[in-house]
Structure 1
Amino acid sequence: MKNQSNTLSGRRQRSTNIAAFVFLLPVILLLTVFIFYPIVDSFMISTYKWNGIASERTFVGISNWTKLIGDRDFWFAFRNNIVIMIMSIIIQIPIGLAEATFIEFVGKKATICKILWFIPMLMSSVAIGFLFTYALAANGGMISAVSQLFGGGNIDLLGNKNTALMTVIFVIAWQFIPFYMVYAMAGYTSISEDVFEASLIDGATKSQYFWKIALPLLMPTLKSAAILSMVGSLKYFDLIYVMTGGGPGTVTELMATYMYKNAFAQFNMGYGSAVAAGMFILITLLSLVTMRLINGKKEDE
């Protein structure tokens, strides 16, 4: 009987393994074709001098990587990514949390606010880029129109080197704040209503409940949101490329726009791949370090 039981158990395990393999195979193939292979291929192409079109490629070894390490334009673009990352975390997560808290405390009466605040997330980045490009235009734009209404002149926020980056950061925040609002709302659902009712019975105000009870319980959610914001900020491309193209000059240049220009505008696919591979390394390292700092060391169970 024991051998028969072992045989049945072994058959069930093999059947489970086969089923798992069958269901995972499409995912593995998709990840291999669209993620793992492009990453490996980018590292390989970075060792060549190639225009991306010709069949012949010239092997240059680590020449592109040497150039990348000393490329001030790339590191300036990386600095812009860091600025956007920091400002995104500072602006988007607190405002998203504030909106979620308002909706949580007001209840069903805030449904209209929930709908209106979520609208930016329903729009594509390209559409938002074009919308704000026209709205912020020096001639006929919304800001210029208001300025002229009060007797001022045209204001070119996107064409001014001193304001272009912060203007783009504002537009990015406008688009993604709803995401963190929904993320915080999901965090609120994990807090039992009994906790809120108990705090009110004990005499706590809503403000005290938020700061003393809800916020500490939401910290794991906010930490995850910060990591998502950080990773997303390091790979921004479409909205900024539509609005400024990295300009004026290189004021709003990011790693992704710099990579695109080298690879597809200047047809320097080898160096563009080196930039892409450099992005991959930097984003991975920053993500690992940030996760380590935010989550800290796990206590031994």
Structure 2
Amino acid sequence: MPRKLTPYLLVLPLMTFIAVFTYIPIVTSLDLSVRQWDFMSAEKPFVGLDNYMILFNSHPFWNSLRVTAIFAFISVPLRLALALVLANALTRETFARRILRGALFLPYVTSTVSIAVVFSWVFSTDFGMMNGLLGLFGIDKVRWMQSPELALGVLIFINTWKQLGYDVIIYIAGLQAIPQELYDAAAVDGGKRMHVFRRVTFPLVMPTTYFLLVISVIEAFQVFTLVNVMTEGGPAGATDLIVNRLYEIGFTLFDIGQGSALAVLLFILLVALAVFKSRVLGKRVHYEA
């Protein structure tokens, strides 16, 4: 009996941790999403689907969903395209390439709050470095973070710069796993560089692309710190990403029921996106691999 229980005892601490910080919060959120609670009241009256109906009839909710979709569907393809190009250039092992890999990966492990504070100064209207550089060419000051047309683009740029190093490292691992014999055979057949990339490299790196696509979309739909530190959802809701909207509802307005309902909707949305990508790309990925 002790020998049979040993595997379960070994995984018990991890399973307890996952249960306390993942499964229990999920169940609690589901319960709170159908109740009305403001953090202070002892009572949590059952309101059914009212919290969900309020969200569906709320303009800020639909605006945050639209902004998040724009953010994700611009930043994710941009990240993956840049990462694949850089990884292809940095695959070979040299001292200079190792230094460049480390430089690219450094922003990923740097505190997001620190990055947000630094870039708040960089894109400051009055004394920012970007406007200082533009001033050298006689260009007037640009209101980067005060313009609804530019603020989201700035956040996309910063998030892409921060996450790019991780994507590059994963792509390098995928590229290094491709057998060299395939490139040698393509060279013997007279294949040009772009032809080899399209016919050999890209198809064989599709499983890596699929993995990065899934986690990148999930990450893009969960961006919060950059928004909270730099814009707080402004100007005029132009950067009000969905997790920032959840924070505003739950921890600024103290409407925990509606905030939990939004968290449940976000969870359902991410699961639906993952299933959709699996259905659309799954067969192609496994076929190409």
Q: Find the counterpart in structure 2 of residue 98 from structure 1.
A: 85
**1:177 and 2:169 matched:** no
Deviations 1:248-274 (A, max 9, x none): 121110111011011111111121111
Q: How far apart are residue 224 of structure 1 and its match? A: 1.2
Q: Find the counterpart in structure 1 of residue 198 from structure 2.
A: 211
Q: Find the counterpart in structure 1 of residue 251 from structure 2.
A: 264
**1:32 and 2:32 matched:** no
Q: What code does the residue aligned with 2:57 have?
A: G
Q: How far apart are residue 204 of structure 1 and its match? A: 3.4
Q: How far apart are residue 231 of structure 1 and its match? A: 1.2
Q: Find the counterpart in structure 2 of residue 147 from structure 1.
A: 134
Percentage of matched positions with identical amino acids: 26
Picking from 224, 228, 235, the partner of 2:215 is 228
Distance in 1, Cα, partners of 2:64 & 2:283: 29
Tell me, yes or no, if the aligned pair for 2:37 and 2:44 is still in contact at 8 Å.
Answer: yes
Tell me, yes or no, if the aligned pair for 2:101 and 2:169 is still in contact at 8 Å.
Answer: no
Q: 4+ runs of 1 displaced by more than 6 Å? A: none
Distance in 2, Cα, partners of 1:47 & 1:236: 26
Residue-pair matches, total = 286
Q: TM-score, normalised by structure 1?
A: 0.88
Distance in 1, Cα, partners of 2:109 & 2:261: 34
Q: Find the counterpart in structure 2 of residue 197 from structure 1.
A: 184
Q: How far apart are residue 29 of structure 1 and its match? A: 1.2
Picking from 13, 36, 44, the partner of 1:57 is 44
TM alignment of 1:131-146, pairs within 5 A: 131-146=118-133
TM alignment of 1:63-78, pairs within 5 A: 63-78=50-65
Kindly report the root-mean-square deviation, in angstroms, between the aligned alpha carbons of the 2 structures. 2.0
Tell me, yes or no, if the aligned pair for 1:50 and 1:270 is still in contact at 8 Å.
Answer: yes
**1:118 and 2:109 matched:** no
- Once the two structures are overlaid, the 10-residue window that deviates more, 53-62 or 32-41, is 53-62
Distance in 2, Cα, partners of 1:111 & 1:25: 40
Larger Rg: 1
Deviations 1:96-145 (A, max 9, x none): 11111001257444222222222211211111111111100101011211
Q: How far apart are residue 290 of structure 1 and its match? A: 1.8
Residue 49 of structure 1: SS of its match in structure 2? coil
CA gap 1:34/1:268 in 2 versus in 1, 3 angstroms: same
Deviations 1:177-221 (A, max 9, x none): 111101100101211233333433444344433222111111111
Distance in 2, Cα, partners of 1:115 & 1:280: 34
Tell me, yes or no, if the aligned pair for 2:35 and 2:48 is still in contact at 8 Å.
Answer: yes
Tell me, yes or no, if the aligned pair for 1:227 and 1:291 is still in contact at 8 Å.
Answer: no
Q: What code does the residue aligned with 1:64 have?
A: N
Q: Find the counterpart in structure 2 of residue 248 from structure 1.
A: 235
Residue 296 of structure 1: SS of its match in structure 2? helix
